[in-house]
Structure 1
Amino acid sequence: MKKALICGISGQDGGYIAKFLLQKGFEVYGGSRDAQMASFKNLDILGIKNQIQLISININDFRSTLQTIIKVKPDEIYNLAGQSSVGLSFEQPVETLESITIGTLNILEAIRFSNLPIKFYNAGSSECFGDTGEEAATEKTPFMPRSPYAVAKSTAFWLVNNYRESYQLFACTGILFNHDSPLRPERFVTKKIIAAACRIYKGSTEKLQLGNVEIARDWGWAPEYVEAMSLMLQQPQPDDYIIATGKTHKLVDFIDYTFKYLGMNWAEHVTVDNSLLRPADLKTGRANPQKAYDKLGWKAAFSMENVIENMIAFELERL
Structure 2
Amino acid sequence: MKKALICGVSGQDGAYLAKLLLEKGYEVYGGSRDAQMASFRNLNRLGIQQQIKLVSISINDFRSVLQTILRVKPDEVYNLAGQSSVGLSFEQPVETLESISVGTLNLLEAIRFSNLPIKFYNAGSSECFGDTGSIAADENTPFRPRSPYGVAKAAAFWQVANYREAYQLQACTGILFNHESPLRPERFVTQKIVAAACRIANGSRETLTLGNIDIARDWGWAPDYVEAMWMMLQHDKADDYVIATGHTHKLRDFIRVVFKRVDLNWEDHVRSDPSFFRPTDIAEGHANPAKAYAKLGWTAQHTMDEVGKLMVEGYNL
1: distance between equivalents of 2:258 and 2:182?
14
Shift of 1:233: 0.2
Question: What is the number of equivalent residue pairs in this alignment?
Answer: 317
Give the residue type in structure 1 aligned to 2:292.
A
- Asked if residue 252 in structure 1 is aligned to residue 252 in structure 2, the reply is yes
| Structure-1 residue corresponding to 2:139 | 139
Give the residue type in structure 1 aligned to 2:63.
R
Shift of 1:276: 1.4
| Structure-2 residue corresponding to 1:290 | 290
Give the residue type in structure 2 aligned to 1:285.
G
2: distance between equivalents of 1:56 and 1:126?
29
1: distance between equivalents of 2:167 and 2:215?
40
2: distance between equivalents of 1:314 and 1:247?
23
2: distance between equivalents of 1:121 and 1:250?
30
| Structure-2 residue corresponding to 1:153 | 153
2: distance between equivalents of 1:280 and 1:3?
41
- Asked if residue 273 in structure 1 is aligned to residue 269 in structure 2, the reply is no
SS at match of 2:234: coil
Shift of 1:275: 2.3
2: distance between equivalents of 1:303 and 1:132?
22
Shift of 1:78: 0.2
| Structure-2 residue corresponding to 1:197 | 197
2: distance between equivalents of 1:89 and 1:8?
17
Shift of 1:7: 0.2
1:58-69 map, 5 Å: 58-69=58-69
2: distance between equivalents of 1:32 and 1:96?
17
2: distance between equivalents of 1:51 and 1:132?
42
- Asked if residue 96 in structure 1 is aligned to residue 88 in structure 2, the reply is no
- Asked if residue 82 in structure 1 is aligned to residue 82 in structure 2, the reply is yes
SS at match of 1:124: strand
SS at match of 2:314: helix
| Structure-2 residue corresponding to 1:175 | 175
Give the residue type in structure 2 aligned to 1:247.
H
Query: Which shows bigger deviation, 261-270 or 246-255?
Result: 261-270
| Structure-2 residue corresponding to 1:26 | 26
2: distance between equivalents of 1:74 and 1:65?
12
| Structure-1 residue corresponding to 2:313 | 313
2: distance between equivalents of 1:225 and 1:235?
16
CA RMSD of aligned residues (A): 0.6
* 1:25-57 superposed Cα distances (whole Å, 9 cap, x missing partner): 000000001000000000000000000000000
Give the residue type in structure 2 aligned to 1:113.
F
Give the residue type in structure 1 aligned to 2:277.
L
| Structure-2 residue corresponding to 1:130 | 130
8 Å Cα contact 2:132-2:284 kept in structure 1 = yes
* 1:167-191 superposed Cα distances (whole Å, 9 cap, x missing partner): 0000000000000000000000000
2: distance between equivalents of 1:233 and 1:275?
43
1: distance between equivalents of 2:77 and 2:88?
26
2: distance between equivalents of 1:66 and 1:134?
43
1:205-216 map, 5 Å: 205-216=205-216
8 Å Cα contact 2:211-2:272 kept in structure 1 = yes
Shift of 1:271: 1.5
8 Å Cα contact 2:257-2:309 kept in structure 1 = no
Shift of 1:265: 1.1
TM-score normalised by the chain length of structure 1:
0.99
| Structure-1 residue corresponding to 2:234 | 234
Give the residue type in structure 2 aligned to 1:121.
Y
- Listed as ranges, the gaps of 5+ residues in structure 2 are none
Give the residue type in structure 2 aligned to 1:154.
A
Give the residue type in structure 1 aligned to 2:86.
V
SS at match of 1:105: helix
| Structure-2 residue corresponding to 1:57 | 57
